[in-house]
Amino acid sequence: MRWDEWRFSATRAWQDRVVRWMTLVTVVFDFAIAGLFLWKILPLSAGSGILTYHYNIYLGIDDVRAWQWMLVPVGTMLGCLVLNTLLAFGVYRQDRIAARALTVLTIFISVLWAVTLSYLVTINR
């Protein structure tokens, strides 16, 4: 797909109220969750220099990493947001239902990442 075709498809997608509002809600939600996560975890992990990355109820803490690893889940979440949004806007002209499904999928992925980030904050307290 060429740039002009994608831009035309994205313009048509942005004119669809459902796609536009789902995209806006997801973007605001993702940036709010990322900001809240970094606001909560940065003082905890940067002060000690480590981040507890995984907790297992049988073994306890089983994955400890350097504090810079806190940027990986946030970057992955925002990367999925960008990729799914670009894909949904690009495919809108050919298949409107698939574009709407991709925007709904982006919302579900964002909620799952929010739960994951909340658990990371909980185990690092």
Give the phi and the psi of residue 124 in degrees, each rounded to 5. -95, 0
Residues counted in the chain: 125
Q: Whole-prediction pTM value?
A: 0.85
Q: Which of 1, 25, 28 is nearest to 93 (CA)?
A: 1
Give the phi and the psi of residue 13 in degrees, each rounded to 5. -65, -40
Q: Express each pLDDT in 99-118 by its tens digit.
A: 999 999 999 999 999 998 99
Count the domains in the chain. 1
Give the amino acid at 35. G
Q: How confident is the model at residue 64 (pLDDT cuts 50, 70, 90)?
A: confident
Q: Which of 83, 110, 97 is nearest to 25 (CA)?
A: 110
- pLDDT score of 61: 78
- pLDDT score of 36: 94
Full domain range(s) for residue 88? 3-123
The angle subtended at Cα 111 by Cα 29 and Cα 85, nearest 5°, is 65
